[in-house]
Amino acid sequence: MVQSSVLGFPRMGVLRDLKKANEAYWADKLSREDLLKEGKRLRLAHWNIQKDAGVDIIPSNDFAYYDHVLDHIQMFNAIPERYSKAGLEPIDEYFAMGRGHQKDGIDVPSLEMVKWFDSNYHYVKPTFQDGQSFKLASDPKPVREFKEAKEAGITTRPVILGPVSFLALGKADRGQTVSPIGLLDKLLPVYEELLSQLKEAGAETVQIDEPVLVFDLPLKVKNAFKPAYEKLSGSNSKIPKLMLATYFGDIVHNFDVIPSISSLHGLHIDLVRNPEQLESVMGQLGAQQVLSCGVVDGRNIWKTNFKKAIEVVETAVQKLGKDRVLVATSSSLLHTPHTLDSEKKLPEEVKNWFSFACQKAKEVAIIAKAVTDGPASVRDDLEANAKAMEARASSERTNDPKVKDRQQKVTSEMHERQSPFPERYAQQKEHLNLPMFPTTTIGSFPQTSQIRVQRNKFTKGEITAEEYEKFIESEIQEVVKIQDELDLDVYVHGEPERNDMVQYFGERLEGYVFTTHAWVQSYGSRCVRPPIIVGDISRPAPMTVKESKYAASIAKKPMKGMLTGPITCLRWSFPRDDVHQSVQAQQLALALRDEVVDLEAAGIYVIQVDEPALREGLPLRSGRERENYLSWAVDSFKLSTAGVKDSTQIHSHFCYSEFQDFFHAIAALDADVLSIENSKSDAKLLKVFVDQAYPRHIGPGVYDIHSPRVPSEQEIKDRIDEMLQYLKPDQLWINPDCGLKTRQWKETKAALTNMVNAAKFYREKH
């Protein structure tokens, strides 16, 4: 029979229960005991949901209070001494590594946290020392949770992160020179021990994740697989069967090192992202090996197309037989919201197209049954699914002929500004009357609690649109006045009307829907609720013109209009899965192009189009796929911005400085001014702008906006000095790293005063 399986389940619970419990615990409002109890309750609830859905293979150890990679760091005792020496309770030591600890005379910052592959989930980076050793914790978490499930009557398949990925995703600690992958020999005995304890507890099979197999791997990492897995399995009867799981990409390019080892029980591959890898992977499987087919999307909210998924699984069954095929989610469901049942406000039509984690668990079970017992056994489900697919494909919501028509008419000229930069800049300089070292900010000013209160009142209907508008105007007046006092050169309106830089635009565009409970974990207790693109996108009316125009009318210096770019709107939403992302990006670009042109017509001559998500959209492997992405991503930015006159200045913003891998794309955006993060990075990163003879203007952030700390004027001058080693004086803008919405006014004013004074100092000097 074909079994169904889930690779991992979201941890938060129906109402973000885990977030609430964690935060209550951190605030000393919940006892340690009660926090641990809540974790136990959630794990049990999630196992039961999957059991009731009919899932055959249910994961355990997919739960984590903060992050599953952090679980491994603690379990293997890869805990830097600054944490271990603090003598904290295990759960507090764990949170100290995840989020820092500043209490009872202990003051340690967190370990570094970075994006998990190309998702918006963040994991804690394993951080190794010279002379690093490992030791398995007593009563290791995977064993404990396996037993916990077993006691509840559910035999699970524990999930652990494999040794090669664990090391390859880590780094040497600050000041250390150790090569993480070089630690493999020391780490393997700990894995052996863990696996044998799992077997002893009764685990027959273990899911061992090696997601780094989708990357182009350095040789050292690549070569680590064979010896590692030869050691971990094979003839060793003390070790459970291993299901090696990969996701978010294809693994064909690494097949030479995926041990053809008879010892591996099976292989899981992502057939949503890379369906074409099926044939080659099947061709490589050993005679007994099982193939787990990831056909239910773990990264998105769409109902699975049963017909297509069944076809894929049937293809595998024909070649391998029913006992060697599993139906699975493409990845962990960690990246999907908990349940569709919580959504009471979605239009019924649209709701019927979606499937969240609880629904996806049912989907894998239905697909497996259809393949095992024949379609007749699940006829109703298949029919309902086919109807939903058909309804979505033909819905007026998804298809807007006017949008398609407009896309047809897009020309290559529409992507180009009228003149090259030097001519544009000459006009902008005169038009905007900017000094050397112009100062500006990135868009948002502090989102005070007063702003949030008024927005809530407005959403709830407690104040009228008119009252709200008045309030927003008064906020804009205030920030304009403050910018007058600070003597900044290019003003912003402060974005008080925006809840979120993507949601705000989504709410004003046709083609989007919003949920009330569809939260997904971003890091630790932080969750995001991405808007969903369901159909062709268009802009029924201007989105930001009113606020910007008002702001410009009361400002004595140029007012910068502020928009979120097409790629960021796309990446920070759940995109459609029925048309290519490039098509959605182009639709967003056309909508934004209209906005840009309208802003210009309203007297806004500096317009910033933020694209912080451009880099995270980069396909995981370099090569053709990456170039392809960059080409349509760049085109969509250019299409959205190129409709203006030469005298209008286009800015863009990125929250990072690492452009080495795709500098050609950044240059190709042809933005007149780029503001980028730089205060926490090395100014050396700016060298790429020199090496590549980048001709346009750049504002590398002169101070960190993530901390309330006020940088002194001297510190900022030192930063500028460093920047001037790389950039020409007439190329340099002076601005903070990013928007100021999470800051308080007090430190914001102080920091900006120092920033403006530093800029003036250089202006005098040059």
As a whole number of angstroms, the distance between CA 51 and CA 425 comes to 64
Which of these ranges, 64-72, 438-446, 457-465, 656-664, lies near ligand GLN under the rule CB under 6 A?
Answer: 438-446
Q: Shortest gap between Cβ of 502 and Zn ion (angstroms)? A: 13
3-state secondary structure 451-471: HHHHHHHHHCCCCCHHHHHHH
Phi then psi for residue 140, to 5 deg, are -60, 145
442 belongs to the binding site for ligand GLN (CB under 6 A): yes
Tell me how many residues contact Zn ion (CB under 5 A): 2
Token pair listed for 299: 């990264």
Here's the x/- map for ligand GLN, 726-755, by CB under 6 A: it reads as ------------xx-x--------------
Judged by beta carbon, residue 43 or residue 455, the one nearer ligand GLN is 455
660 by Cβ neighbours in 10 Å (0-12 / 13-18 / 19+) ranks as exposed
443 belongs to the binding site for ligand GLN (CB under 6 A): yes
Q: Shortest gap between Cβ of 452 and Zn ion (angstroms)? A: 20
Residue 562 and residue 493 in contact, taking contact as beta carbons nearer than 8 Å = yes
Q: What does 562 interact with, of ligand GLN, Zn ion, none (CB < 5 to 8 A by kind)? A: ligand GLN
As a whole number of angstroms, the distance between CA 602 and CA 621 comes to 43
| 390, containing H or E segment | helix 379-394
Catalytic: 706? Answer: yes
Token pair listed for 251: 């693994």
As a whole number of angstroms, the distance between CA 430 and CA 434 comes to 8
As a whole number of angstroms, the distance between CA 560 and CA 599 comes to 10
Residues numbered 493-512 forming contacts with ligand GLN, rule: CB under 6 A: 495, 501
Q: Which residue is nearest to ligand GLN (CB)?
A: 739
Active-site pick, 580, 664, 706, 766: 706
* Alpha-carbon distance values, 150 to 59, 65, 145, 755 (Å): 12, 20, 8, 60
Among 653, 697, 719, 743, binds ligand GLN (CB under 6 A): 653
- Amino acid making up residue 226: K
Which of these ranges, 72-80, 131-139, 424-432, 731-739, lies near Zn ion under the rule CB under 5 A?
Answer: 731-739
As a whole number of angstroms, the distance between CA 698 and CA 657 comes to 11
Token pair listed for 239: 């070790």
Counting Cα atoms < 13 Å in the Cβ hemisphere of 38 gives 23
444 belongs to the binding site for ligand GLN (CB under 6 A): yes
Judged by beta carbon, residue 648 or residue 675, the one nearer Zn ion is 675
Q: Shortest gap between Cβ of 357 and Zn ion (angstroms)? A: 30
Q: What does 443 interact with, of Zn ion, ligand GLN, none (CB < 5 to 8 A by kind)? A: ligand GLN
612 belongs to the binding site for ligand GLN (CB under 6 A): yes
Beta strand 113-115 pairing with 122-124 = antiparallel
As a whole number of angstroms, the distance between CA 719 and CA 761 comes to 13
Which residue, among 70, 60, 69, has the nearest Cα to 39 in the 3D structure?
Answer: 60
Judged by beta carbon, residue 389 or residue 738, the one nearer Zn ion is 738
Hunting for tokens 């702008």 — which residue is that? 689
Tell me how many residues contact ligand GLN (CB under 6 A): 13
738 belongs to the binding site for Zn ion (CB under 5 A): yes
Residue 189 and residue 225 in contact, taking contact as beta carbons nearer than 8 Å = no
Which of these ranges, 312-320, 442-450, 548-556, 753-761, lies near ligand GLN under the rule CB under 6 A?
Answer: 442-450
Here's the x/- map for Zn ion, 649-668, by CB under 5 A: it reads as ------x-------------
Which of these ranges, 110-118, 222-230, 436-444, 583-591, lies near ligand GLN under the rule CB under 6 A?
Answer: 436-444
As a whole number of angstroms, the distance between CA 474 and CA 685 comes to 40
Among 96, 642, 655, 671, binds ligand GLN (CB under 6 A): 655
Judged by beta carbon, residue 207 or residue 444, the one nearer ligand GLN is 444
Judged by beta carbon, residue 382 or residue 655, the one nearer ligand GLN is 655
Query: How many CB atoms are located within 10 Å of the residue 418 CB?
Result: 14
Which of these ranges, 439-447, 462-470, 548-556, 599-607, lies near ligand GLN under the rule CB under 6 A?
Answer: 439-447
Residues that bind Zn ion (CB under 5 A): 655, 738
Active site residues: 706
Site residues (vs ligand GLN, CB under 6 A): 442-444, 495, 501, 562, 610, 612, 653, 655, 738-739, 741
